[in-house]
Amino acid sequence: MEKNKILAALTVLIAIICIIACEKNDQSLKQSAALSDAHNLAHQTKGFYSPPVKIAVKKTIENEQGVIHLSFSSSHIKPYLIKLFLDKDSYKKVDILEGNYEILFMRNILTINQSETGSRYDFVVDNDELANIKAILPKDYLVPGSIDVIGMSVFGLHSSSLRDSPGLSPDEGCAIAGGPGSTSCSNACCSTSCETGYYAYCGNTCSCEKKTKSN
């Protein structure tokens, strides 16, 4: 009887040790899940990459669209603000906590990744350019459940040829670009990509406008 009790206790102890070891292994995997080949992908897609940087998050409603503002300051890149434009249903479902994230911008795709917690968001703009961007990515690079957005605007210069320029703020008289017929545009203030069915507008403000019959 005493031997049975000892064996049972040992079995429970071994099970506990196994559970703890598995949890530590899972946590280790999460902590090591940094974005792979990020610098190269940013270069190939003419976007940008930043190692983990603190992102502040704000949500607003503008022009009947939900807008998520991601603000940051990084010595590695010139951009300082990304606006994501979503339909109201998707906007309500997306809940990004402020914190330190890697940022990988690939024109039609934005990935922010927090390796410590395993929190990753892939935002996708579906237009004629998307297939070209996806063709560059390794197989299964995007996580399941990527989020389709109406569009996104990046404020601050990100073109590699202009990265040493100071850039302009949205109130400094940026030239107007885009308009009906364009799903993307850029000027000295911002770069904007919009899904098919919307047109990109770049000026002192940057947005995705719904196409109408008159357009």
- Mean pLDDT across the stretch 14-36? 51
The pLDDT of residue 5 is 53
This prediction has a pTM of 0.78
Confidence check: pLDDT of 198 > 90: yes
The pLDDT of residue 187 is 86
Asked if 115 and 33 touch (Cβ cutoff 8 Å), the reply is yes
Q: Pick the more confident residue, 23 or 189.
A: 189
The pLDDT of residue 74 is 79
Q: What share of the chain is helix, strand, coil (3-state, %, to 5)?
A: 25, 35, 40
The pLDDT of residue 165 is 43
Q: The sheet that has 206-210: what strands, in order across it?
A: 177-178, 198-202, 206-210
Asked if 150 and 127 touch (Cβ cutoff 8 Å), the reply is no
Q: In the chain, where are the structural domains located? A: 1-32, 38-210
195 contact partners, CB below 8 Å, separation of at least 6: 125, 126, 127, 148, 149, 150, 151, 183, 208
Q: Can you name the residues that pair with 101 across neighbouring β-strands?
A: 53
The pLDDT of residue 158 is 52
Q: Pick the more confident residue, 26 or 182.
A: 182
Asked if 171 and 70 touch (Cβ cutoff 8 Å), the reply is no
Q: How far is residue 156's CA from residue 187's CA, in Å, rounded to a whole number?
A: 10
52-83 per-residue burial string, b: 16 or more CB within 10 A, e: under 16? bbebeeeeeeeeebbbbbbebebeebbbebbb
Span 34-45, pLDDT tens digits: 899 999 999 999
